A and B are shown apart, each in its own frame.
Chain A
Amino acid sequence: MSLLTGPSHSNSIFAPEDRIILGDVSVNYRLPRERVSSFKEFAIRKLQRRLEYIEFRALQNINIKVKHGETLGIIGFNGAGKSTLLKVISRVLHPTSGRVVIKGRVAPLLELGAAFHPELTGRENIFLNGVLLGRKNQEMEDRFEDIVEFAGLRDFIDVPVRTYSSGMLARLAFSVATEVDPDILLIDEILSVGDSSFAKKSQARIRQFQDNGVAVVLVSHTLSSLQELCNRVIWLDRGKIVEDGDPERIIQSYLRQSNISTVTLPPKDVKSSAPGLEGSDYAAKAGVWFAGTEQNALFIPRSKVITPIYEDKVDGPIKIQVKNSDLLFTSQRVLYGNSFNEIMGFPSEQLTSTYWYPWYDQMSMQSWLLISNPSDAQPVDVRVLIAGTERGSYRIEPLSTIKVQFDGISGGPVQVSSTNGQPILSSQRVVYGGSFNEIMGYPGSQLTNEYWFSWYDQMSMQNWLLLSNPESAHSADVRVLIAGAKQGDYRIEPMKTIKLQFDGIVGGPVQVISINGQSILSSQRTLHCGSFNEVIGYPGDKLTTEYWHPWYDDRIMKTNLLITNPNDTVSSEVDVFISGQKEQTHILEPLSTIKCQFSGLTNGPIRVVNNNGKAIFTSMHGYYGDGFSEVFGFPGNQLSGEHWFPKYDNVNMRTWLLLGTP
């Protein structure tokens, strides 16, 4: 570190009161797509040019100046880049590009006591921590008494800190880090240190720093304390500054954005276009029925998606029917707690009498089945079997949906069927922690011997593959391949479901295939930061060349579009259209999955189409809050004029429908 005596260019950008300057700072993490951990592997891949990286852009062209005496707050969703920003300022990370100039001594209150050693006494740890923060031994000796005094730990100072309570440790760490005159203070979410009286003391100290002109950078999710302490706030989103300015104004607009409805309820022109647009440029007119009651007609503009929300409505089943054109794609999006979920509408042509799920779990999570009778005339009798055992039978009135739950049951596979062959509709809903997930039942008429998933990741999340044998007589021998590599062969006894995990594996696509030709069923369950998601595999005999996703939102959540080439010999060329515009073209190697991200985009519909006649499939990974959600693209050759959902609930959760026409 040099004093401010260098060449004049370093002075020129510096006003004397500036403490922190970030000029066009970007931080890119370069993550290998698959972990290469040995020379041999590395050499082989390098030769084959198969060493692929994913660039993760944690910060993108950030420009910030923080002056003497200023207190800057940083807000943003998880993964917005707040911690990375603090690391750049505290010099832990050297920026990938751009320039960082820091003038003055930095006191980071990042992770209190990261350097404490449990066997050393409080006294020894004060010195150790102090010198690791860049102080001199002599300074620590001079300040020692003040530190002990402020922490209020005089009686315990010669006792190993392993005997300290967490509150005592926090007090000691705070005292060490602040007991030097810093010019810059970095605080990461630690305003409540120790007990309430110490919390007051530490707040007072921070205010004293502010009064003395220390520049403070504060990251917190506690918006009230930010508003109170800061005189300026920056809102970060996916590595970029969204807004910078007055705390109250920015916190307000941040809060508005967090309320997803205003964001994902999108093209404002939709509402205005609804009534009286007849005859002008709309592609389709659609009717929506809640349990047989028709709602106002909806008009869908060309290459657009409309997203009606029905306030205070809980009802089912939902039917969406297009009136003047013949095809439609639909989905239902749900926000519940801190989680997001999407399911595709179920086309009428595929309604059948039996549906399957790999698993039902009312022990470690809350699960229930929804069963609908789409007939407007006859009631239907249904029964539910779990792992071959009947768990209940029910009568469902015409155009109604029932909810069934089986206490203390955890097992699979689950079969829902009508006793007289009449068509029904079913889905399974799960609440796990604060997260919600729904999957449509898999139609029994479409059971097959091969299923696909886009991606398997047992590194950054927890992934299970569930493999079910819905046969009551024959066992199934099933092979699992990830990115073409065989993970193992498994025998599934009749009416059983097995769960598999592959440690340390990240890759895709995943192929689950029964090698003795038995029909099976497979799903993938995911736990990501405490939130749960499940998808049923995409059937191998329904692969086609065109898929639809109603909506893509990379503004309020982070979304990846995954495109897979399941063919093991031929490359596949795909185009991605968003709202009718061709946005990207990709060449997919055989047996590969690519992830596309359209940074900051929120628009729809998405059409992915292969143009050399090769079957592909797609899925979308949405990260909202802490939650993860996946949904497969809707196959273009299964588009229908009529779609169903078992239930719409805009009371206990936020739910909206998405409708579009090809």
Chain B
Amino acid sequence: MVTEKTPLPVYDSAKRGFFPWLELREAIRYRDAIFHLTRRDIVARYKRSFLGIIWTMLNPLGMMLILTVVFSTAFNTGPTYAAYVLTGLLAWNFFSQTSNAVVSGLAWGSGLVQKVYLPRSIFGISAIGTGLVNFILALAPLLLVMLATGVPIRLSVLFAPIAMLMLACFSLGIGLFLATVGLYFPDVTEMYQILLIAWMYLTPIIYPETILPENIRLLFFWLNPMYRLVRLFRYPVYEGEMLPISEISITMLMAISVFVLGWWLFSRKANEFAYRA
């Protein structure tokens, strides 16, 4: 005799539906798992080091210090160079670290997804979550550097969260894309490391965009999405001005498209992970 208190959840492998939507719905259902995975990454990373979470802030500061010493006279930019380079670095580091972390997070998760059912995207999303927490923590030293070097902090800085969200969308899209392709071609993840180095130098991060000849700059601007995303973050924070609405909307559209494409590809192949890993 069976009495059903509440209707039981039913999984039916024959009901496929629209896979990007299913994956998204499952990811939302597992939101607590995303939270705890993110928390685990942050807690575990700093638990055994003496300075702990402070390293998140010291890392970009150290990098900034080196770059400022090396390049500030070369680029002839004066004392605000430190804040300039730091805004660029924070955006870039977020992208390069999280897009990699999405790939390795899914690889780490592969051990687990062999054992229990989990929507695989949650490992990617939690990697982005970890990156965002680190990003937010690193904003504190950025504000200090801006104060110290006399860069005015204007109201436009409130736009920063939206820029960070766009960076997150873009990184997740790229990361999911790489993870899916890496499923078939493990070489890709190694190739990506090299690509990242070139990509960084093709993006105005440590050099002012004004040193580029205008035609080259335009080329970068239209072909390198990271150029736009760095600007989206840097302009309101460092320059203290809003970008023209046309540029903002195109950049956002592009970041969201990359996310949608990455998500679509990944969720289409999500079932393959258990077969391949």
A residues with CB within 8 A of B: 1-6, 10, 16-17, 29-30, 37-39, 42, 68, 87, 90-95, 98-106, 108, 110-111, 114-115, 117, 119-120, 124, 127-128, 131-137, 160, 183, 213
Contacts and interface: CB of A to CB of B under 8 A. Distances in A.
Given A4-B8, A119-B47, A37 B186 contact: yes
Select the residue from A39, A115, A133 with max chain B CB neighbours within 10 A. Answer: A115
B153 to A, nearest CB: 37
Interface of B: 2, 4, 7-15, 26, 29-30, 32-33, 35-37, 39-40, 43-44, 47-48, 111-118, 185-187, 271, 274-275
B8 A136 contact: no
B40 A106 contact: no
A92 B109 CA distance: 12
Given A87-B274, A183-B8, A94 B13 contact: yes
B15 A2 contact: yes
A128 B44 CA distance: 12
B114 A1 contact: no
Given A119-B48, A134-B30, A100 B185 contact: no
B116 A108 contact: yes
A29 B272 CA distance: 10
Contacts of A87: 114, 274
B100 to A, nearest CB: 19
A108 B116 CA distance: 7
Contacts of B32: 131, 135-137
A132 B274 contact: no
Contact of A103 (B8, B26, B185): B8
Contacts of A38: 185, 187
B13 A4 contact: no
B275 A100 contact: no
Nearest to B275: A29
B218 to A, nearest CB: 31
Contacts of B33: 131-132, 134
A347 B213 CA distance: 85
A520 B26 CA distance: 63
A10 B12 contact: yes
B114 A68 contact: no
B187 A39 contact: yes
Contacts of B35: 131, 137
Contact of B9 (A16, A30, A105, A127): A105
A114 B10 contact: no
Contacts of A213: 2
A29 B276 CA distance: 8
Contact of A92 (B4, B14, B115): B115
Contacts of A37: 185-187
A2 B10 contact: yes
A1 B29 contact: yes
15 contacts: A1-B11, A1-B26, A29-B275, A91-B117, A94-B271, A99-B14, A100-B12, A100-B13, A104-B8, A108-B117, A114-B111, A115-B112, A119-B47, A131-B30, A132-B36
A106 B10 CA distance: 10
A304 to B, nearest CB: 42
B191 to A, nearest CB: 9
Contact of A17 (B2, B11, B36, B40): B2
A94 B12 CA distance: 10
B9 to A, nearest CB: 5
A17 B4 CA distance: 10
B274 A92 contact: yes
Contacts of A10: 10, 12, 14-15
B12 A92 contact: no
B44 A132 contact: no
Contacts of B114: 87, 92
A48 B62 CA distance: 52
B254 to A, nearest CB: 26
Contacts of A132: 33, 36-37, 112, 116, 118
Contacts of B12: 2, 6, 10, 99-102
Contacts of A131: 30, 32-33, 35-36
Contact of A16 (B2, B14, B30): B2
B16 to A, nearest CB: 9
A641 to B, nearest CB: 52
Interface centre among B12, B48, B185 (most CB of A within 10 A): B12
A39 B113 contact: no
A99 B43 CA distance: 41
Contact of B274 (A3, A16, A93, A103): A93
